[in-house]
Amino acid sequence: MIKEFRNSSEIHGIDNGISHYIQEINSLGYPTIMSCSGMEQDHYEKEKCPYICFERPNLSDEELIRYMQFIGDCFYNSNWFVEYFPRYIIGYLPWGLDDSNIETRFKKFVHNLKMRDFFKYSY
């Protein structure tokens, strides 16, 4: 079942400042449904909260728990806040970070997804 879930589809409407990170996250098999860079280059008119949102995948109960824990741990280990909702997992950063700090945290999150790889290693 995990192999079926890993297939990602085309995504649209991504903030320019994080588009390469979101595309990479999706290509690794972790489909996002919403995101915001929070960067001045994308939201110059007002301050925004940077976030990435994942929909809960259609996995068995045990696999879903492991997946949710994996995503949450990757956020936490990348200095993100994480919240779990009935249908979503959201990682977000504090308001007011400068663009370089935001980019560093996105980069660190992608690095953690790659290094820990839910699909390759037992979690």
pLDDT tens by residue, 79-118: 999 999 888 999 999 988 889 999 999 999 999 999 998 9
Query: pTM of the entire structure?
Result: 0.85
Phi, psi dihedral angles at 98 (to 5 degrees): -75, 165
The token duo for 68 is 């949710």
pLDDT at 18: 93
The span from the CA of 75 to the CA of 83, in Å, is 10
The span from the CA of 102 to the CA of 94, in Å, is 9
